[in-house]
Structures are given as structure tokens and as C-alpha cells.
A = this chain, B = another copy of it.
């Protein structure tokens, strides 16, 4: 099983990455990291939590397993270089959103989804570990990136007075965008190259929860301007007990960047709008102890209790 899958991967993986002088086929891979530190992140996705295998296209599951890692690298403003992939496959054939698949067919589709996105971002697949078991599908990708000479962006650099930005409309990603989102790698690199980014995080568990993490690391508070929060069309389509604004604040898996800059940089950003899609100024950083307040449409300031999408 492992051997056959590794052969297939090995054949299809380019040996040409300058970041992987030694790839699949030995006990470990070698990453070329001279002259640079390495940014590393890991995400594990499981059936029933991050996807429903029975309803999903396995290629999109593979894609997502890589995309969430690229989103983490984007939040650090690192250039993605390589990944290692670990997967545990159901031993028996199983129902998926594209029909019943054997273990090997499932593996092939997962891998194809990973590989397609990896090529798009010029990311080398440096190694992996493939297993089968009596349990459900699990994928864990560890991704590597290298900082640019502008350095990395961290959660901990927000300063009182900073303006808070997001790279796109929020909410309702469960309608499909959580599979198909484009990780904000290029956006992060473009922003970090041109502007002084004080702090950044990617929105994986919702604006509310991820902003609370950013200000906790930065030892600041924050005010969200309710009327400024961009609400995605998907959030309007949810049509349930939550308002579209609540979806934008609490839904997870938007995978937009949330970042802070000085008021002067904020002005420049809004003037330049340097990305293909607009960036949105949605609030400001305050002194204080990691508390979030919301400035409502009525001009009232109300305390906000962080909560969000805990998978």
C-alpha cells in the first residue's frame, strides 16, 4: 500500500525543486535552508470535522489540506517552499461525494488535489507517510516556507492606534468556499513587501476568535466597526437564525488575512488599494487587556465576547 502510493507520488513529483535536494525515497527528506530560517506549520484534517468524505470531492479535500497550511504561511508572510504529507486512509472502499472509491482511488484523488495546488504555488512535495487503518480519513500536512528579506509578520506586533484590516468579505464559507478559497499567499507577500505590517493572522476560526488571538498575543484591545465589516454573499445566503453580520463575525474558514498597520499606513493602503481585490479597514487596536468591543451602527460601544467556529 504505502510502497505503491509512494511510487506513484515519486513518479509524479518533480525532482527539480531547489528547496528539496533530497526528496522521497529515503528515511527523511533534505530541505535546502542555508541562508534562511524556515517557517513551519502543521494542520491535521479529519473526516466529520474539516470535511464530510461522504459528500465531498476527495480532490477538494486534498486541496484544502494544503490550502489551510498555505494560509498559515501567508499569515507569516513566508514564501511556501515544500510540504510533507501524512495520510491515514480507510482500509475499505468508501463512499465519497464522487462515488464509492477504493483505498487507492481515494489516495490518488487526494494526492491529485494536493499536487495541483502545490504546483500552482511552486511548492515541492518533499516526503510523506501513507497508512491505512480501520478508521476514517485523516490528512496532516506540514508546510515549510522561507521569510523574505522583509522578515515575517507575527500575531504579536499590533500596537494601540493600529488600524485593523481584512483582505476580503467574511462569513458563510461552509457553503463551499472553505474548500475552494485561495490562500492569501500572494496578497501577504505583496502587502509585506510594500507596507509596514505590524501584526497578522489568518481567519480560520472566525473574525471574532482570531482577532481575540491576535490581540492576546499583542497584549492589546480592539474595537470592531460593525458597519465596516465586509459581509460575503455567502453569509447572506445562509438564511438561518444568525444575521449575515453574525456570520461574518463568527463563521470560520474564511482564510482571509486579518492584519494591523499604523494609521498612516492605513491611509496609504486605502489610497493605493494595492491588491486585485480591495482590503477593508474594519476597526482599530486599543490599549487594554485583550478585550474586544464593537462600535455598532447606532454609534454604541458594546463589549464583545469572542467565540467562533471551533471545528
Q: What residues make up the interface of A, taking CB atoms closer than 8 Å to B?
A: 1-2, 21-22, 25-44, 46-49, 72-73, 75-76, 78, 84-88, 126-129, 131, 133-136, 138, 140, 142-145, 147, 152, 154-156, 200-202, 217, 310-311
Contact = CB atoms under 8 A, between A and B. Distances in A.
Contacts of A155: 25-27
A164 to B, nearest CB: 17
Contacts of A87: 44
The 7 A-B residue pairs whose C-beta atoms are closest, nearest first, are A33-B33, A28-B41, A27-B75, A44-B86, A142-B142, A140-B140, A27-B72
Given A76-B27, A156-B26, A38 B33 contact: yes
Contacts of A144: 40
User: Secondary structure of the A side of the interface?
Assistant: strand
Given A46-B133, A140-B44, A28 B34 contact: no
A26 B217 contact: yes
Copies in the complex: 2
Given A1-B310, A135-B47, A311-B131, A41 B21 contact: no
A304 to B, nearest CB: 17
12 contacts: A25-B217, A26-B155, A27-B72, A27-B75, A28-B76, A42-B129, A43-B129, A44-B86, A49-B131, A86-B140, A88-B138, A133-B136
Nearest to A144: B40
Nearest to A138: B138
A39 B34 contact: no
A33 to B, nearest CB: 4
A41 B127 contact: yes
A20 to B, nearest CB: 9
B86 A43 contact: yes
Contacts of A86: 42-44, 86, 140, 142
Nearest to A152: B30
A94 to B, nearest CB: 13
A202 B26 CA distance: 10
A231 to B, nearest CB: 24
A31 B42 contact: no
Given A42-B142, A46-B88, A87-B44, A34 B37 contact: yes
Contacts of A138: 44, 46, 88, 135, 138
Contact of A44 (B28, B78, B129): B129
Interface centre among A38, A47, A72, A73 (most CB of B within 10 A): A38
A22 B112 CA distance: 33
Contacts of A36: 33-34
A78 B29 CA distance: 11
Contact of A28 (B1, B136, B145, B311): B145
A29 to B, nearest CB: 5
